[in-house]
Structures are given as C-alpha cells and as structure tokens.
A and B are shown apart, each in its own frame.
Chain A
Amino acid sequence: MKPTPKQRIWMYESMLKSRLFDDALFEAYWEGKKPVFHMGKGPLPGEMHQSFGQEPTAVGVCAHLGPDDAVGAGHRPHHVAIARGVNLKRMAAEVFGKKTGLSGGRGGHMHLYDNNVNFFCSGIIAEGMGPGAGIALARKMQKKPGIAVAYNGDGAVNQGAFHEVMNMAALWKLPFVCVIEDNNYAVSVTTKESTVVPAWKRAAGYDCPGEYVKGNDPDLIFEAAARAVQHAREGKGPSILEIETERLHGHFIGDSAGYRSKDEVAGQKDPIPVYRKRLLDEKALTAADMETLEANVKEEVDAALKFARDSEYPAPTEALDRVYA
C-alpha cells in the first residue's frame, strides 16, 4: 500500500513540525548554558535527546494509526509524539517544566504522556515493549479495536524485555508492532559492536513477520508499516519492523560524538529536504501550497513555544501531588 498524496503531505508536515520543534528546543537549550555548559542550567535543564534525522520512522508508522491505537516511545520521543498527535502546546510546556505541561511539569522530555492519543514514553531502554504489549493485551481481552506500537532504538534489542515481550506477544497473538529505529548507535556503541543478529531477523525466532526498511524513506517505511499494522489488526499477532535511520546529532545535546569519524558524519543525509524535493518534483503539492504549509507549521511550533514560555511554573509543593491515584 502506497501513501496517498494527502498522506504524503501529512508525513512531510509532521516531520517538519518535529524538526522545527527540535530546532527551537536546541536553541532554547543553550540559553543559560554558555559560556560554560552545565546541564542543569537555563530554561531547558536535564538531558535532551532530539530526533534530528529520525523523523521518517515516526510518520511512516503513525500514518496508519487511529484513535484506538496506542504508541509507546523511548528517551528520544519528540518525533513520535508529534506524529502521534500529542498536544504540541502542552508537550512544549512539559519540556519547559511548566504547570500547563502534559504532566504539570512532573515528567519532562523523556516522560511525555498524553492519554488523549494513548501515548506514553520512558527513559529506560526497551520499556515501551512490556507496557506496549500490555495495552495490546487489554484491547484483546476487552474485545476492543486498536493495536499498540512500541518504538525502540537499535540498542534496545539486547535488553531482556525485548525478547521476553516478543515471545509473549507472539505466543498470545497480541495486536502489537515492535518498531526498531536503527540509527546504528547506542550512545557510542554501534549496532555491529552490540548485536549478532538484528532484531528483524530474530522475528523468525518468534515465528512472526520481520522486515528491514532501508533508506530512511517515509514512503518505504509507510509501505512496510502498512503490512505490520494490518497483520496486527487482523489478529495475527506481532511483527518486528526495523527501520534504517540517522542520528544527525550527538546522543544528547552536549555530546560532541567524538567517537564518530568525520567522513561518516559528512556522509549523513538529512531526510527532510530529500522528501520535500520529492514531493515538489512529483507534484504532490504546488510550491505555493508548500509555502503555505511550511508557514503554518512554523506558526504552530512558534505558538507552542510561546505558550510554553509564557506559562507559569508549578508551585514547589505541587511536587507532592499525584504520587497515588
């Protein structure tokens, strides 16, 4: 199944939104951290793992999801959250630690939760697996429609949870898709250095479909994801969808990635301009429409950032709320 022009435009729009969001955060992150870098300073303290280069993995899969579906992401969640339709203003406010944030400032950028679109994430590697498959189990037990998708990095596939959950998901034929974003790195360690058999090939061990999508290409990811999502919707169980992608920046802001060679970094391709050009070349939209779309996205991101900045911080004692239901 190929994406319709409308879907392709949506994919571009969502990737761009993620990119502009990350651009804006990148700039804000450095406020208060110059000339001396200190992770705890400025309006955006803490670790900040951004999605530069990985936007296609989010849109190619999330394009197939509807309101009944659920998505779990990891420590690098912005592109996935945006493609899933997480409220951008409240997400920005959460990243800034504001009262108006998705979790009132309790979570931060690695812990974005939006119940309206069944979205969660976790900073612990492979943590999307169990809870993701658990949501899939609930859908099945309650005979409700909907599937669950868990996003993991290539580094997550060697975590016990990955294997344990894949086995159970396959055993119980859960409506579940395990997405692996293969950016070839887990901090400094390459996939080759960590993994004997890649995740998609291990699918054979769970007797479920496994596919590798090359090229960091939204259209190809869309097609492969269509198969995995359909498999889950038809009650046939989980699949593993591994996607080649790029981490264009360091592991987090402040990591200069000195462990990568200059050549390797120079050879990296930004998928967003490539896709933009393709859409224009193939006349999926006119240049004028593109201009309008881009202006609208920029406006939306700017508004989200403004909302975040203008919002109040929570009162200190709000820290005590929400520990228990």
Chain B
Amino acid sequence: MAQEAPSTGGSSRTLTMARAGREAVIAEMRKDPNIFVIGEDVAKLGGVFGTTVGMAAEFGAERVIDTPISETGFIGIATGAAMAGMRPIVEIAFVDFIGVCFNQIFNFAAKTHYMSGGQFKVPLTMMIGYGGGYNDAAQHSQCLIGTLAHVPGIRIVTPADAYDAKGLMHTCLRDDNLTIWMVHKAIWGLGWLGTAIKTAMATVPEEEYAIPFGQARIWREGTDVTLVGYGITVHHSLQAAEKLAAEGISAEVLDLRTIVPMDRDAIMKSVAKTGRLVVADEDYMNCGVTAEVLATIAERNPKILKAPAVRVANPDIPVPFSRPMENFALPDADKIVAAAKATLKAS
C-alpha cells in the first residue's frame, strides 16, 4: 500500500496527484507549526493513499498523528484544536466512512463560525478519497459530494489533475474555514489502483501557487456541446470529446474544479456558446451536483439551451460490487458521447 507510480524528476516534473497534494501540505507545514495531520494510518503507513508518506519522519509523531478508528472523536478534536488556533488536516481515506462522524462535520465544524457570530474560526482541511470503478462495492465506492455540498459552511474542491491538486491544497490550507479536498481514487496515481488515466498526471511547478475557490477550468474548447464534469468525469469527458471530434462534433470540456463555491459564470458562458449541455458525475443523481448545474441555467437563462440538457450520473443505486453492474452504474466516455449526441439530435 501507499505506493504510487514513479514520476520523472527534474524541474519540470510530472507528478501524480498524491505527490502534488503532499508537496503542498509539506510546504505549508514547514512554514506553519500550527498545521498538523491527524487520521488513521497517516504516520507509520503514510496514508492508505500515500498522502502523508514521509511526513512523520520529517515532522514527528506530534504533528503526524495515527488515531484509533474513532472518526467522531478525532474530527471533533481537530475542530476544537482549530477553534483554539491550530490548523489541522484530517484524513478520512474513504468518504464512505464519513457516515460515522457526519454529525461533527455538519452540525458543528461547518456551523461554528456562523453560530458563534464569527467569534470562532474553524480552519480545518479534510483530505478525502472518493469514487469507485475497482469493484469495492457499496460502502467503499461512493462520492457523497452532493451530500457534503448540501451543507452550508463547507468549501469543497475536487482537483482533476496534479497541478490542481497542489494549487487547491495550498488554497485550502490557507483558508480559515472547513475545507474538503477530495480526490477520486482512480486518478490519485496510486500503484494499487492503477494509473491508467494519464491525463491526471501533470507538470507541476516546484514553487507554491494557489488556485482560487470557484474558478472552473476549460480543458478543451469546443462549439457544439459543453461537457461539464469534475474529478474523474473530466477525464471521461476528454475521452468523449476525442470520440466526438472524430465524428465532427466539437465538444468543450469544463471542469468545475471546486464544487462549493461553484463557478456558475463559467457554466453560463460555455453553454451560451455551445447551446448544449451534458453534465457527468459519478455521484448519485438525485439532488446532486448535476442538478445544481442544470438549476444554474434554469435560473439564470434557460433560453441559452438549444436542446434539453442530459445528465450522466449514478442512477440512484448503491454502487454494486459485480463488474457488469458497477459499470452500468458508473459514468464513462461512451455514455457521455451518447448523451452529447442526444442533445444534438434534439435540436
């Protein structure tokens, strides 16, 4: 475990997302002694996803803390420490486990700044892995981003490549709120989950840089249809755009990058240009991120759509274990291609 694909050295380094995120954490920890990391298997093991490899050696057991399997307890503890001037980083390896400690997050950490009238700040960053595609079944494959995004007081970033992983981590760690940095397991760059999606590796500058919240990213420009995604669905959309291009259809790929706040202007601008929209999300469809994107257009100006928008998301079923059924539940390039064609046919 905690192994990742090798990345090339040198100044123009190609990094995995795991390495890039870790680089930001280490840089901030070197500058600020109030930052500490707490979670299961973060010290000795270096994180189930390699997010904290080497950190215990550099910062010691006081700042890189292995916990018991007591998520409610250590998130509560991190929240209290944050209220008292520390800047904790909490790792929850799989977002699914948030179920056991959600109260600490949504009833306290996310609301304390507000409920205290701004007297208490909670500068706490959570590092969380999400997503399926490797047959880990219903309790280890969820996204739950829509669930988290529903709660006021939390900022959620979902980088799709190593460059964004680093820049968004810096932003989270410098923010004075509860921030959640979430990476889809399949693009993290872990050996044991494969590195098939090469587009998630990126050239990452050695120096620090921060990517602001609420700025979407256009990965590919196009004129016929906008493909909106985040995390892994950006990569599915890029593949879909290639396939569509081969058939003479020009797709624009828009990466939301941060879910809360959401760059609604970027969505409007792109769809105003293309007139067609497909939103792809691995999360559950009902009341989720896909709905929020569509609501943006419905509220601001539905007339920019030349055809009904199409959502590609989990059809509201627990993620099944068996491969054919899981594949049915997951978004992929072909489903996005079919959705894009449907928008073109409808207009």
Contacts and interface: CB of A to CB of B under 8 A. Distances in A.
Q: Do A and B make up one complex? A: yes
Interface stretch (A39-47, A65-73, A168-176, A212-220): A39-47
B321 A155 contact: no
B44 A259 contact: yes
A79 interface: no
B69 A156 contact: yes
A249 to B, nearest CB: 13
Nearest to A255: B1
B261 to A, nearest CB: 31
B99 interface: yes
Nearest to A156: B69
A98 B322 contact: yes
Range, interface on chain B: 35 or more
A250 B318 CA distance: 28
Given A110-B137, A316-B328, A39 B192 contact: yes
Given A123-B140, A156-B69, A314-B322, A189 B40 contact: yes
Interface in B181-229: 191-194, 196
Contact of A187 (B45, B191, B192): B45
Contacts of A47: 136, 140
A313 B324 CA distance: 7
Contacts of A105: 320-322, 325
A38 interface: yes
Nearest to B139: A123
Interface string A92-109: 001001100100111110
Interface in A224-281: 250-251, 254-256, 259
- Central interface residue in B41, B69, B139, B328, by most chain A CB within 10 Å: B69
B102 interface: no
A159 B325 contact: no
Interface of A: 36-41, 45-47, 94, 97-98, 101, 104-108, 110-111, 122-126, 155-156, 158-161, 186-189, 193-195, 250-251, 254-256, 259, 313-320, 323
9 contacts: A37-B192, A40-B194, A125-B100, A186-B69, A189-B41, A313-B322, A318-B325, A323-B316, A323-B318
